[in-house]
Amino acid sequence: MDKHQTTSLSYLVRLWPTGVAGQHLWRASLENVQSGERRGFANLEQLFVFLMEQTEHGDPPDAQSTAEPAPIRRPIS
């Protein structure tokens, strides 16, 4: 991770099932929210490896930003 990059990563994840030789596989794509760059993955393992690589080399966010986000409250209909 670049030292000048923020400590937060945001991706839009798309998952869809495919059938190959009678087996069901999940394909995935990630779109970087900041840059708009898209990456495709042939399976979930490749997706997870990419995410691990993106997060293991950077400094962790400070303690305040790692706190659990407040739950989203929606009005009762």
Question: Does the reported pTM lie above 0.85?
Answer: no
User: How confident is the model over 12-67, as pLDDT tens digits?
Assistant: 999 999 987 788 889 999 999 999 999 999 999 999 999 999 988 765 555 445 55
Long-range CB contacts for residues 62-71, cutoff 8 Å, separation at least 24: 62/7, 65/7, 65/8
For residue 70, which phi and psi values (nearest 5 degrees)?
A: -65, 140
The burial of 34, by beta-carbon neighbours within 10 Å (0-12 exposed, 13-18 middle, 19 or more buried), is given as exposed
Q: Which residue did the predictor score with more confidence, 71 or 34?
A: 34
Question: How do 38-41 and 11-20 pair as beta strands?
Answer: unpaired
Q: Which residue has the tokens 């986000």?
A: 69
